């Protein structure tokens, strides 16, 4: 206790500066890591937690227009994609090779009367992000279930409906309407009804069951081998630079929105890495000041330490007194770091929740809020505790060596 009082008398501004710097460094590292984990968790909260999906195709060039080039994938190219180490699964789209004619009545004024050519595609069920409980179709069935791209649904509400002065429709209303469908080819035709049973954010197309498309292509399609012109791949990380380079090298492209998402996430990772690096630098500088303070304080108390040794104090007792003062500073610094991370996380999460609820709708806000909480991730706790332990261990070693030098001089 005597030495601890002496050490308190020698406390200067540098010790306070190291404390503040240490707290700032811990908060910077903790908050950056926490928000990076939160955003990754929120981004993968919908759909398959372990896979990301991208649709790839070949870019159309001037050679395709004159019938020299081809946008189709060969078996070798599909095998090349399948064997790529980052690809978990791959499948090709099949498409309609017959005429499809959609007829939509006004339904009592709810919709503008519409007659138009459309197309269909199909792909394995495991890649479809919609409820498939009504997805079955068998030959002789009059109603064909359809899954519609969400972008097509938005195109009607925010484009066609506005242009024609027609009312906007909800997904539930659109799903309740059955449209007429005429398919023709090979000198014959058949009539069906189609019903929208779901909407897909992943697939930008009009999707029907493979059983219907196979039947229609055989009975009404052109007599030719249909090579796939689009592939869907499942991968662990669509942002991986190796995967992006692979697609570019083989002249495969995905849609621009996916590329912007990849670029935005890569930017997030870069910014997070820079902030963590800055936090580590601040921590290292603060730790260096702490170690230097220990040497200065013990050197300034050399005469008092010598007197304590003369009256019977052992070096281990003196070291214990020195570390008691250091431990208080480190524990308080660590506690302030934890509190700072929790406070900042809570404030930022609350601001993002209110922003999303206001501009993206209450559902998106609740979705974000349900994936976030004021509790910090265990990875952040482990990192902060490990940093505190390392600083304590090095501080003890510095104090022990300094005491040894003082007692030998």
Task: Tell whether the model's pLDDT for residue 373 goes beyond 60.
Answer: no
Q: 89-143 pLDDT, tens per residue?
A: 999 999 999 999 888 765 544 555 677 888 999 999 999 888 888 899 999 899 9
If asked whether residues 271 and 404 sit together in one domain, one would say yes
Confidence of residue 45 (pLDDT cuts 50, 70, 90): very low
Cβ neighbours for 83, distance < 8 A, ≥ 6 positions apart: none
CA–CA gap between residue 382 and residue 34 (Å, rounded):
12
If asked whether residues 275 and 395 sit together in one domain, one would say yes
pLDDT value of residue 46: 45
Q: What is the DSSP letter of 126?
A: G
268 vs 89, which has greater pLDDT?
Answer: 89
If asked whether residues 108 and 163 sit together in one domain, one would say yes
Burial class of residue 80, CB neighbours in 10 A (0-12, 13-18, 19+): middle
If asked whether residues 100 and 205 sit together in one domain, one would say yes
Q: 270-289 pLDDT, tens per residue?
A: 777 787 788 788 878 878 87
Long-range contacts of 175-179 (CB under 8 A, 24+ apart): 177/104, 177/107, 177/110, 177/111, 178/143, 179/102, 179/103, 179/104
Most confident region among 111-115, 327-331, 405-409 by mean pLDDT = 327-331
Task: Tell whether the model's pLDDT for residue 1 goes beyond 70.
Answer: no
Whether the Cβ atoms of residue 208 and residue 146 lie closer than 8 Å to each other: yes
In a domain, 349, yes or no: yes
Alpha helices in 250-314 (DSSP H): 256-300, 302-310
If asked whether residues 312 and 195 sit together in one domain, one would say no
Cβ neighbours for 106, distance < 8 A, ≥ 6 positions apart: 112, 113
**Count of helix runs (H) and strand runs (E) in the chain:** 14, 12
If asked whether residues 151 and 24 sit together in one domain, one would say no
In a domain, 23, yes or no: yes
Question: Helix or strand or coil: residue 79?
Answer: helix
Residues of the domain holding 43? 2-47+266-408
If asked whether residues 30 and 103 sit together in one domain, one would say no
In a domain, 151, yes or no: yes
Average pLDDT score, the chain: 79
Question: Helix or strand or coil: residue 301?
Answer: coil
If asked whether residues 98 and 204 sit together in one domain, one would say yes
**Range scoring the smallest mean pLDDT among 9-13, 178-182, 296-300:** 9-13
If asked whether residues 314 and 216 sit together in one domain, one would say no
In a domain, 15, yes or no: yes
Phi-psi map region of 10: left, alpha, beta (phi>0 left; psi -120 to 50 alpha): alpha
Q: 295-321 pLDDT, tens per residue?
A: 877 777 777 777 777 777 788 887 887
In a domain, 260, yes or no: no
**Range scoring the smallest mean pLDDT among 242-246, 309-313, 324-328:** 309-313
In a domain, 72, yes or no: no
Choose the final residue of a domain: 171, 188, 223. 223
If asked whether residues 217 and 159 sit together in one domain, one would say yes
Task: Tell whether the model's pLDDT for residue 85 goes beyond 80.
Answer: yes
If asked whether residues 270 and 366 sit together in one domain, one would say yes
CA–CA gap between residue 120 and residue 122 (Å, rounded):
7
Q: 156-171 pLDDT, tens per residue?
A: 788 877 777 777 788 8
pLDDT value of residue 30: 86
**Joined tokens for residue 327:** 């431990």
As for how many domains the chain has, the answer is 2
**Joined tokens for residue 336:** 């302030």
If asked whether residues 110 and 33 sit together in one domain, one would say no
In a domain, 62, yes or no: no
CA–CA gap between residue 28 and residue 47 (Å, rounded):
32
In a domain, 256, yes or no: no
Cβ neighbours for 339, distance < 8 A, ≥ 6 positions apart: none
HEC-encoded secondary structure of 152-212: HHHHHHHHHHHHHCCCCCCHHHHHCCEEEEEEEECCEEEEEEEEEEEEECCCCCEECCHHH
**Joined tokens for residue 10:** 């020698």
Whether the Cβ atoms of residue 166 and residue 112 lie closer than 8 Å to each other: yes
Q: What is the mean pLDDT of residues 248-272?
A: 65
């Amino acid at each position: 206790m005597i030495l601890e009082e002496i050490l308190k008398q020698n406390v200067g501004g540098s010790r306070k500066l190291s404390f503040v710097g240490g707290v700032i460094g811990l908060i910077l590292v903790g908050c950056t890591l926490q928000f990076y984990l939160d955003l990754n968790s929120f981004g993968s909260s919908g759909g398959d937690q372990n896979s990301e999906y991208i649709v790839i195709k070949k870019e159309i060039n001037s050679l395709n227009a004159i019938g020299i080039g081809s946008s189709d994938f060969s078996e070798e190219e599909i095998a090349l994609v399948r064997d790529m180490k980052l690809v978990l699964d791959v499948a090709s789209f099949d498409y309609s090779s017959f005429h499809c004619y959609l007829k939509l009545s006004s339904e009592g004024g709810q919709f503008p009367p519409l007659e138009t050519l459309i197309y269909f595609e199909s792909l394995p069920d495991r890649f479809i992000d919609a409820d498939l409980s009504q997805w079955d179709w068998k030959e002789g069935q009059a109603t064909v279930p359809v899954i519609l791209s969400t972008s097509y649904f938005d195109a009607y509400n925010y484009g066609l409906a506005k242009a024609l002065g027609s009312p906007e429709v909800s997904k539930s209303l659109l799903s309740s309407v059955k449209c007429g469908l005429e398919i023709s080819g090979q000198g014959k035709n058949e009539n069906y009804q189609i019903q929208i049973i779901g909407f897909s954010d992943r697939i930008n197309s009009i999707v029907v069951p493979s059983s219907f498309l196979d039947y229609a292509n055989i009975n009404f399609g052109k007599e030719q081998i249909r090579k796939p012109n689009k592939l869907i791949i499942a991968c662990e990380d669509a942002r991986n630079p190796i995967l992006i380079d692979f697609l570019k090298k083989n002249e495969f492209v995905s849609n621009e929105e996916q590329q912007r998402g990849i670029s935005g996430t890569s930017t997030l990772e870069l910014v997070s890495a820079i902030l963590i690096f800055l936090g580590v630098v601040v921590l290292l500088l603060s730790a260096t000041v702490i170690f230097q303070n220990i040497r200065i304080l013990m050197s300034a108390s050399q005469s008092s330490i010598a007197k304590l040794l003369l009256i019977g104090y052992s070096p281990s007792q003196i070291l214990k007194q020195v570390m008691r003062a250091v431990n208080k500073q480190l524990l308080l610094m660590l506690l302030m770091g934890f509190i700072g991370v929790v406070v900042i996380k809570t404030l930022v999460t609350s601001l993002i929740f209110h922003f999303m609820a206001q501009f993206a709708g209450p559902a998106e806000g609740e979705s974000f809020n349900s994936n976030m909480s004021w509790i910090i991730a265990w990875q952040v706790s482990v990192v902060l505790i490990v940093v505190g332990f390392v600083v304590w261990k090095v501080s003890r070693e510095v104090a022990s060596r300094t005491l040894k030098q003082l007692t030998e001089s």
